[in-house]
Chain A
Amino acid sequence: MNADAKPLKAAGPAIGLSTPAPRPSPRWLKRLRVAVVQNVIPPVVIGAILLGLWQLLCSSKGSALPPPTQVISDTWELIVNPFFNNGGNDVGMAWQLLASLKRVAYGYLLAVVAGISLGVLVGQSTWAMRGLDPLFQILRTVPPLAWLPLSLAGFKDSHPSAIFVIFITAIWPIIINTSVGVRNIPEDYRNVAKVLRLNGLEYFTKIMLPAAAPYIFSGLRIGVGLSWLAIIAAEMLIGGVGIGFFIWDAWNASRISDIILALFYVGIVGFCLDRLVALVGQLVTRGTSAS
């Protein structure tokens, strides 16, 4: 209901705007205007209201958190100089984010490879499913950070430990979605493969992967979201360069405005990661979902 109501309401002013215009504008301009009215105005309005509220609530003398204006003035140096490098941990926000993204990239890519392979195994073989599924169901409920002490003990170094935490966080949804996708390959496709006598490798590349791709990508999307959640928490504990430790460091130095700025960046990057995987998924699986 809500989703329906919003564009309808937004479409109202669009029509109202176009009628008084004396000369007919080109169609693409009209469409662009409708798109702007429908997609840009609502978030801008809500955002402005929320910022105003925040400003009002935090402007009083004794408030614990800074208002938005103060956040911007406090962090102006960080915003305009994202790439400064004073050595050690004292580097710009862009470097902090890149360090975190690099860890996520390693851990996540390992999880993608291992997760899809295990998912295919569990989806293909009933025996493997019976043996491994209970194990997966138990392990996937372990919170990411609970793995950190164990991996620190195992790797004796913080860098691989952080990557391992990402890996172990992202792998479960990938395994589970891949195995469901492989198990749900329509019997017709299997029959086509049988009639053509496709061998194992041909079946894997030409039938299984494309048929399971929509499922695999929903697992990949959940996985990338979880790994971004986990890296922030893990970095707070392991230290070094990274947006997670930046937040922790700012807290220890009582730089609340820096924390707020970092949270904003974390949200934006997480959103971009999610959209990136979704976009790749759309490109790869185009046509697959609608047969």
Chain B
Amino acid sequence: MGAHYLSIENVDKHFERDGVSSQVLSQVNLGVERGEYISIIGHSGCGKSTVLNIVAGLIGASNGAVVLDGKEVHSPGPDRSLVFQNHSLLPWLTVYENVALAVNKVFKRSKSKAERHEWTLHNLEMVSMGHALHKRPSEISGGMKQRVGIARALAMQPKVLLLDEPFGALDALTRAHLQDEVMRIQGELRNTVMMITHDVDEAVLLSDRIVMMTNGPAATIGEILTIDLPRPRNRIALADDPLYNQYRHAVLSFLYEKQRKVEDLGARRVASPVKEQARA
């Protein structure tokens, strides 16, 4: 296990609530290579956000460990930058200032003031936001906010980029546009990416491997599907690609046949605290 760039080793997680302990994750094991794009897919409440938050260090694992580049993860840090679903830009700062806040903090010592300015601009240009540097988040669209969120995360030069349903709150057209953008940037930078999603097309289009999680309680990794499609990928060309559709089919059948969401009260009771805690 130790040979992977990022490895999640025997991670368990249970939350205590009103004296009742609920097991959320059980024996999650995953190795991620450098430069790999991994998607984690599963039904809502299955604990995929919890996995991401444990990797980010925002919550601790009950058992097991996360090792990144030979070091165990204990707390959050800029080497694992996050892009949140709701962008979480600071509304009182401009687009430029939001990214600059991260750049100035992370590269305080290693870069000069001029270099940090250049680096901030460079990252905003990369997500095509160079035209709106001095706008505030309230003045730009949802897709643009998410671009700035991505720029901020990339600007930290993370060892692994964590995306928590980054396109979930966007309309379909904006989402497709942004997915293409992320693919292009990923092609240039070869970042290691871990993305949470519940969109099957998105997972197949973007990923090198798709990690499919079983339903909670005590969710774990059900199957891992390697997506062997050549890059760069084109969504239009792939629409008729038999291999692409085969992958899609595999993920769909895992989600809707093997792991059909049982909507009974019992499952909900276990699932809801997970969700709340994971977001908290």
A interface, CB within 8 angstroms of B: 186-189, 191-192, 194-198, 202, 206-207, 210-211, 213, 285-288, 290-291
CA distance A213 to B101 in the complex (A): 19
Interfacial residues of chain B within 227-280, with CB under 8 A of chain A in the complex: 279-280
Q: Which residue of B lies closest to A284 (CB)?
A: B92
B interface, CB within 8 angstroms of A: 56-58, 75-78, 80-82, 84, 86, 88-92, 101-102, 105-106, 136-138, 156, 279-280
Are A197 and B91 in contact (CB-based, < 8 A)?
A: no
Q: Which residue of B lies closest to A198 (CB)?
A: B105
Whole-angstrom distance between the Cβ of A243 and the nearest chain B Cβ: 38
Whole-angstrom distance between the Cβ of A184 and the nearest chain B Cβ: 14
Are A291 and B84 in contact (CB-based, < 8 A)?
A: no
Are A288 and B91 in contact (CB-based, < 8 A)?
A: yes
CA distance A134 to B102 in the complex (A): 39
Q: Which residues of B contact A210 (CB under 8 A)?
A: 90, 92
Whole-angstrom distance between the Cβ of B49 and the nearest chain A Cβ: 12
Chain A, interface SS category? helix
Q: Which residues of B contact A198 (CB under 8 A)?
A: 105
Q: Please, could you name 9 A-B residue pairs with CB atoms under 8 Å apart, sorted by A?
A: A186-B88, A191-B58, A194-B76, A195-B82, A197-B77, A197-B78, A210-B90, A288-B91, A290-B138
Q: Which residues of A contact B86 (CB under 8 A)?
A: 188
Q: Which residues of A contact B58 (CB under 8 A)?
A: 191, 194
Are A291 and B105 in contact (CB-based, < 8 A)?
A: no
Are A196 and B138 in contact (CB-based, < 8 A)?
A: no
Whole-angstrom distance between the Cβ of B54 and the nearest chain A Cβ: 14
Are B101 and A196 in contact (CB-based, < 8 A)?
A: yes
CA distance A198 to B78 in the complex (A): 10
Are B90 and A192 in contact (CB-based, < 8 A)?
A: yes
Q: Which residues of B contact A188 (CB under 8 A)?
A: 84, 86, 88
Whole-angstrom distance between the Cβ of B134 and the nearest chain A Cβ: 12
CA distance A271 to B101 in the complex (A): 39
Are B88 and A202 in contact (CB-based, < 8 A)?
A: no
Are B105 and A202 in contact (CB-based, < 8 A)?
A: yes
CA distance A189 to B84 in the complex (A): 11
CA distance A285 to B91 in the complex (A): 10
Given A192-B88, A195-B77, A290-B91, decide whether A187 and B279 contact each other with a Cβ distance below 8 A. yes
CA distance A49 to B275 in the complex (A): 61
